[in-house]
């Protein structure tokens, strides 16, 4: 069972809410799970539950609380999606990094990060700027190119869909060229392929990307413990 908790941002001291789920069994580590533009939706909470079943204590911050407390674009209506886009564009990266740091600091190490869409770029941001992470996994982060001049300080893997209309392959190759040391995986899928709420949901790609994510966590300290 998950619960709402409060985090105090390292950026400005703002108190934002977050969804928190603990594993029932032995703990592998902490995990900051970063939302799409749609907020901490039912889908994001289900992802939290799934990683908790794998042994991770998960925190999913509500990054838009400064703009609208508890915003979620459930149903993915045109109006809700437009608000999510607006909110993501109104959340500067320095602020997001401070919110991420608060989530990392709320978890006992090792701590990992995973994010989707806007959250994929925020995951790259966390790997580059935040302290206390052990590894990260970023899904279809279109805005990573805004941060491509920054270098991750921890192991990170990237996931992109070959037929993602919102992220041309030229942009993906731009990231690869700037960071050849970072594993970058391409899937026979479109944008949002890991979400069963999206038209581009691709189960095989979602399973493979998740397996790779769990593997990079396991290789960087995500082993079972009794803590």
pTM above 0.75, yes or no: yes
Domain boundaries, the chain: 3-219
pLDDT at 104: 98
pLDDT at residue 89 greater than cutoff 60: yes
The reported pLDDT for the residue numbered 227 is 41
pLDDT score recorded for residue 226: 43
Domain at 3-219: CATH architecture: 3-Layer(aba) Sandwich (3.40)
Mean pLDDT of the chain: 95
What are the DSSP calls for the chain, one per residue? --EEEEEE-TTT--EEEEEEE--SSSB-EEEEEE--TTBS-HHHHHHHHHHHHTTEEEEEE-TTTTTSTT-B-TT--HHHHHHHHHHHHTS-HHHHHHHHHHHHHTSPSSEEEEEETHHHHHHHHHHHH-SSEEEEEEES-GGGGGGTTS--SS-EEEEEETT-TTS-HHHHHHHHHH-TTS-EEEESS-TTTT-TTSTT--HHHHHHHHHHHHHHHHHTT---B--
CA distance 18 to 107: 12
Q: What is the pLDDT of residues 10-48, one digit of tens each?
A: 999 999 999 999 999 899 999 999 999 999 999 999 999
pLDDT computed for residue 113 by the predictor: 98
Q: Residue 224: what pLDDT? A: 61
Residue 1: per-residue pLDDT: 79
pLDDT at 225 over 60: no
% of the chain with per-residue pLDDT over 90:
92
Per-residue pLDDT tens over the stretch 199-211: 899 999 999 999 9
State the pLDDT at residue 81. 86
What is the spatial distance between Cα 5 and Cα 51, in angstroms, rounded to a whole number?
Answer: 18
């Amino acid at each position: 069972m998950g619960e709402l908790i409060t985090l105090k941002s390292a950026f400005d001291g703002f108190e934002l809410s977050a969804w928190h789920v603990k594993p029932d069994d032995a703990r592998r580590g902490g995990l900051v799970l970063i939302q799409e533009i749609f907020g901490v939706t039912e889908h994001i909470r289900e992802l939290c539950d799934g990683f908790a079943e794998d042994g991770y204590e998960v925190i999913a911050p509500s990054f838009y609380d400064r703009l609208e407390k508890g915003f979620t674009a459930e149903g993915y209506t045109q109006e809700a999606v437009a608000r999510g886009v607006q909110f993501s564009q109104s959340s500067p990266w320095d602020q997001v990094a401070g919110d991420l740091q608060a989530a990392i600091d709320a978890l006992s190490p090792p701590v990992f990060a995973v994010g989707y869409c806007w959250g994929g770029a925020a995951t790259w941001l966390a790997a580059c700027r935040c302290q206390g992470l052990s590894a990260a996994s970023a899904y279809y982060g279109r805005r990573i190119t805004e941060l491509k001049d920054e270098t991750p300080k921890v192991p990170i893997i990237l996931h992109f869909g070959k037929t993602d209309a919102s992220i041309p392959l030229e942009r993906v190759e731009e990231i690869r060229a700037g960071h050849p040391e970072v594993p970058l995986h391409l899937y026979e899928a479109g944008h949002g392929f890991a979400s069963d709420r999206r038209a581009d949901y691709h189960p095989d790609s979602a399973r493979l990307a998740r397996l790779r994510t769990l593997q990079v966590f396991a290789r960087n300290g995500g082993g079972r413990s009794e803590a």
